[in-house]
Amino acid sequence: MGSSSARTNEGPGHEGTGDEGLRRRDLIRRSAALGLVAVPAMGLLSACATGGGGGNDKETKAPGGPKSEKNPLGVAKGAPLEAFIFKGGLGDQYAKDAEADYKATYGADVKHTGTQQVGPKLTPRFAGGNPPDVIDNSGADHLDMNKLSTQGQLQDLAALLDAPSMDDPAKKVRDTIHPSTVEKGTHGDTFDVLYYAFTIYGTWYSRKLLADKGWTYPRTLSEMVTLCGEIKKAGIAPWTYAGKFPYYVHFNLFAQIAKIGGMEKWIAIDNLEPNAWTSNDAVKEVVEHYEELAAKKYFLEGSQGLTHIQSQTAWNKGKAVFIPNGSWVENEAAPTTPADFGMAVGALFDGTGDKMPHGTLRAEPSEPYIVASKGRNPAGGMELLRIMLSRKHAQNFAKKVKSLTCVMDATEGMTLSPGLASASEVFKAAGDNLISLQLQEWYPALTDEKIGGLTGQLLAGELKAADWIRKTQAECDKVARDDSVTKFKRTA
């Protein structure tokens, strides 16, 4: 997963003051209607630079067909559509199902590509001026959306938001989706990324394993360390992680810092402010916690060489008790998950003098869909998204991938799978105490390559916490000084 300068109010997670804070509190209260949503976090390794584009030109291609009540976006009948969909933990069948409805409605051919290499395959096409119409820009090798937006390559999706919803023409699309979806997908003043889902991040475990061993999910960081000692004595590794992609650990590590230190101090980190890492006591507490886990060898031996799939498989086989991940893990790990596993997720741990209460959770929009402004059929690309935002396809998504979309109330009355039911429980328990972070979205090369490399060394016992903090601050300072990197800013 990125975003334009002066972007503010980036999702839930901070109680602002005055009207800002009231708006955020109202937004989170409305979250309860969602129940929960899940999907993979947007890919996190930096994609290759995008070429082409017209600088800051925001000019977009006009829709090509007549508009009507049933065709509010003006899709030309028979106009072919090309879709590039990330085929990772969620697969791509849900998108094919929506494409089938598009094809039936408009009598048009739909070319579908499911891939895990969105960036490498599409960077030259954007540079050449012939991108596909709609793209699920997720996975490790995703496109740099910040650059695409700055270059005017992304379609302004305001028309989609203001179009009537598929289920109730009296309601606009914007009124059927979780409000943080709009906040998250806005670059500057332009909404040009639709985050189709909502991910719950946290520490995942097997209810059955904990129950069989008589262990209780810890409330605090210190209780976690104590439990890790008991787990290790039982001959099981307390933790595993995707060592080849150590940014997975950041899903927990970064959020844990925000919980203990408060969102105001985390926002300073998102905004690349000087000394934001080094002057934050919560950073020291959390990073030293991970240093202690490494020093006591509480990570499964060999984890540093595992992919996300390999680490999840080891976890499913009972070789490790805990794993940091997002709510897409239930679907992604399904092939190796025992029927009685009882997949569950726990909220963030309490530390010392926390600014946010027990039960605080990282939960935010994810799975970014974009429409290419210079594609052949941008109107069709937006229409496919409108179809996907219908109750029919939101429920289909939940059934097929054990995750929910940003469509509020879509899964009401449905029976949820174990992992999704657990995620729903912690989501509802968190109430207003939700954390949304931007550093990994805005600066993926920084977090996933630079800081990720440091985290890998930390967990392997090769780097002390103090050195991790100092070097992380230095890497952030480099980006802050680099005029070639577009900067973003949030206030809440």
Secondary structure element (H or E) that encloses residue 25, with its range: helix 18-34
Q: Which two tokens stand for residue 89?
A: 């933990």
Q: Which residue has the higher pLDDT, 26 or 238?
A: 238
pLDDT at res. 461? 96
58 has pLDDT over 60: no
Residue 62 pLDDT class (50, 70, 90 cuts): very low
Cα separations in angstroms, 84 against 70, 77, 80, 131, 375: 25, 21, 14, 10, 12
Between residues 342 and 61, the one the model is more confident about? 342
pLDDT score of 147 = 86
Global pTM?
Answer: 0.76
The pairing of strands 81-86 and 134-136 is parallel
> Residues near 306 by Cβ (< 8 Å), separated by ≥ 6?
240, 241, 242, 243, 244, 314
How many Cβ atoms from other residues are within 10 Å of residue 266's Cβ?
29
Mapping DSSP to helix (H, G, I), strand (E, B) and coil, where does residue 215 land?
coil
Residue 75, pLDDT above cutoff 60: yes
The CATH architecture to which 35-199+366-414 belongs is: 3-Layer(aba) Sandwich (3.40)
Query: CA-based angle 191:71:106, to the nearest 5?
Result: 110
pLDDT digits (tens, 9 = 90+) for 101-143: 999 999 999 999 999 999 999 999 999 999 999 999 998 789 9
Look at residue 23 in the predicted model and tell me its pLDDT: 37
- Looking at residue 180, what is its pLDDT? 81
Average pLDDT of the chain is: 87
pLDDT tens-digit readout, 455-481? 999 999 999 999 999 999 999 999 999
Question: What is the rounded distance in angstroms from the CA atom of residue 123 to the CA atom of residue 131?
Answer: 9
Q: What is the pLDDT of residues 148-192, one digit of tens each?
A: 998 999 999 999 999 999 999 999 999 999 888 898 888 888 999
Burial class (CB in 10 A: 0-12, 13-18, 19+), 188: middle
pLDDT-based confidence at 486, cuts 50/70/90? Answer: confident
Q: Rg for the chain (alpha carbons), in Å?
A: 22
Kindly state the percentage of the chain with pLDDT values over 70. Answer: 87
| Residue 89 binned pLDDT confidence (cut-offs 50, 70, 90) | confident
What are the helix (H) ranges across 129-246? 145-150, 158-162, 179-184, 207-213, 221-233
Cα Dmax for the chain? 70
Take residue 408 and report the two structure tokens written for it: 């509020």
Is the pLDDT at 24 greater than 70? The verdict is no
- In the predicted structure, residue 38 carries a pLDDT above the cut 70: no
CA 283, CA 263: separation in Å to the nearest integer?
13
pLDDT value of position 64: 64
User: Is residue 402 very low, low, confident or very high in pLDDT (cuts 50, 70, 90)?
Assistant: confident
Q: Residue 390 is which amino acid? A: S
If you average pLDDT over residues 420-432, what whole number do you get? 88
In tens, the pLDDT along 211-220 reads 999 999 999 9
**Domain ranges, ordered by start, for the chain:** 35-199+366-414, 200-362+439-481
Helix (H), strand (E), coil (C) string for 234-268: CCCEEECCCCCCCHHHHHHHHHHHHHHHCHHHHHH
Residues 81 and 110 sit within 8 Å (Cβ to Cβ): yes
Q: What was the pLDDT predicted at 429?
A: 92
Query: Count of residues for the chain?
Result: 492
Range with the poorest average pLDDT among 146-160, 371-385, 413-427, 464-478: 413-427
pLDDT for 61 equals 47
**What's the pLDDT at 243?**
96
pLDDT at 53: 39
Which is more confident, 184 or 281? 281
| Domains 35-199+366-414 and 200-362+439-481 alike in fold | yes
> What pLDDT sits at residue 365?
84
Share of the chain above pLDDT 90, in %: 70
pLDDT of residue 179: 81
Kindly report the CATH number that applies to the domain delimited by 200-362+439-481.
3.40.190.10
pLDDT at 293: 98
CA distance 113 to 224: 43
For residue 49, pLDDT beyond 70: no
Residue 355: pLDDT above 80?
yes
**pLDDT tens profile 197-253:** 888 999 999 999 999 999 999 999 999 999 999 999 999 999 999 999 999 999 999
Lowest mean pLDDT among 17-26, 57-66, 115-124, 150-159: 17-26
Amino acid identity of residue 20, one-letter, is E
pLDDT at 21: 36
Q: Is the dihedral of CA 438, 440, 446, 452 positive or negative?
A: positive
What tokens appear for 241 in the block? 């992680």
